[in-house]
Amino acid sequence: MTGRPLSPRAIERLAIQRWTAANGRTWAKASKRERANWLAKTEPVIREEHGIAADAEWRAGDWHAPDQTDLFDLISREVA
């Protein structure tokens, strides 16, 4: 992966593009169930393709390990 990491919204957009390519229908015509199933199936694949761990959390514009403490955030709280 190069450049900026994919945001959760960017992953969703990629999944929608893949839906349209695979099904020949627009995302708007997919039922709620179809959308949920497609996203559940496709998101882990996209995350893996881009080196994003399955349990990573999106915070402050980047992916982080779950329960990872942001040391800079702690310092700013102590100083303030």
Q: In Å, how far are 3, 22, 43 from 62, measured between CA atoms?
A: 12, 29, 17
pLDDT beyond 70 at 43: yes
Quote the mean pLDDT of the chain: 86
pLDDT of res. 1 = 46
pTM for this predicted structure: 0.77
Rg over CA atoms, the chain: 16
Tokens 């994919």 locate to 6
Which residues are CB-contacts of 8 (< 8 A; sequence separation ≥ 6)? 58
